[in-house]
Structure 1
Amino acid sequence: MKSEVLLAPFSSPSHGVESNECCDTIMSPAELASGDFGCSHYRRRCKIRAPCCNEIFDCRHCHDEAKNSLETNPLDRHDLPRQEVEKVICSLCETEQDVQQYCVGCGVCMGKYFCSICKFFDDDTSKNQYHCDDCGICRTGGKENFFHCNNCGCCYSKLMEGGHPCVERAMHHNCPVCFEFLFDSRKDISVLPCGHTIHLDCLKEMELHFQYSCPVCSKSIYDMSKVWKKLDEVVASTPMPEIYRNKMVWILCNDCGAKNEVNFHIVAHKCLNCKSYNTRQTQGGPAASCSSDVAEIVR
């Protein structure tokens, strides 16, 4: 798992837990054939009975995909409350029982990692699952590699500890690109320099379309100084018609928040404070209300 100081992708929340209850016993031939059990999300030897609809699914993700599909009546769509699961069904002997790591019927270990809080089973121990009491769910990547930020309300890589920009409940919202809820997403998530969060894949997709600003606050995501120098050259080589040469407009800088009155130019407007071209036109100066910060129509 890679991490960076400003742009730090980290393992998304999963559903295993760090536990001392690992199955170190010799596995039976049936257990060794674990590839025959589980689903596309997890390898395990049990299914769950959904407390919300009383149906049986391989895991909560299988339930959510089925119950939130386009074919499902919108009024019937819902997610499975993971911590309310009370019954599991052994995949080997089909015994239905209370949530526990070992089957009461055949004794099989239903998951090498087991969380009694999240009601989760998983055989893939390479994920280094651990349960975060503050998050209230299980995550992946190893507890020793993460810390929980109480202000942001989520776990971050320790490489960001003491230096990350705090945003209250930073991941308790949908990804601004794909709109999937980030807090318990299984995909890798990046923390932008401004503190807002986004799926790593969505961020890469933005780059492919030359989008280099945060979709939430519009601050620049990367060091754009080389781009600004290039724009200086373009602006200098693009003289404005006589009618616009003395036209002045107010701009708001998305990077530093400063307001400036600058000469109007068709290419871009440069912030006089931080030299950024990540700006937008407004209808008023420093005393104007926030509601008036809309693009001015050039007459």
Structure 2
Amino acid sequence: MCAPPHTRARICGTIAYVTSTTPRPRTPASSVPPRLIATDLDGTLLRDDKSVSERTVAALAAAEAAGIEVFFVTGRPARWMDVVSAHVHGHGLAICGNGAAVVDLHGGPGGHRFVKVRDLSPATALDVIGILRAAAPGTSFAIERTGGVHHEPAYPPLHLDPTVGVAPAEKLLAAESDCADQPVLKVLAHHPDLSPDAFLTLARAAVGGLVEITRSSPTALLEISGPGVSKASTLALCCAERGISHEEVVAFGDMPNDVEMLTWAGVSYAMGNAHEDVVAAASGRTVANNEDGVAVVIERILARL
């Protein structure tokens, strides 16, 4: 059985790992005081063991105390946000699913509430799945809905949470599906043989602008969102609601799904462990996630206030 559907609010919007050698930090110049910090989680704020260091917890709290909002902006689904739920302040919101949802974390573990959903239509998802099956034979798919994840039999086993349903993607997306009333947040596509970047390049060329395709995994796992849906576009909407301009945002990331956000933000930092495309997109660079690279920059920002 599927979990009950969550509250929906439709909105519109437009808008290869490098080596672990510690880079020389690069600090971009900015004359605009920051009003919001937007940070990715895995490989960025979180250490490799998925913990939040005491130094980072203190830096986040100090930023909020100084009047700088902190937004977690991640590819994770809402149900994986318990790792940072205790560290949200004030607004309590996080952007999940690469921009597909804005989630209120105040309810604590199991009590997260969807505030906004930017879903992917099942018809478009089916079109994309058909294109990728033809372009990259052997691809298997999973469907991430607001109520949980569903996947095909050939899709790699899931370890972090239970599967809601297993069936061919066409059946999982059918109008008569038991979960058809739950919005589709994203489609996941896995290939057993292609390299991660080669799969991403192939998929983008095959699909064109029909959807947004990115990746955040070290494996050949693509994340497919609705057209115009990204971390950047949803963050822009949240900032607009607060009267915050992109020049007043400082962003952090490490993987290709962070590139648009880092490009949009007035000041942005690639982690020391970041993908080469992220390094090219960011205006600055900090040390790796295991060295508390986000906290290092926040401390530097607060010292200048």
TM range, smaller chain: under 0.3
**TM-score, normalised with respect to structure 1:** 0.27
User: Which has the larger Rg?
Assistant: 1
Provide TM-score, normalisation by structure 2. 0.27
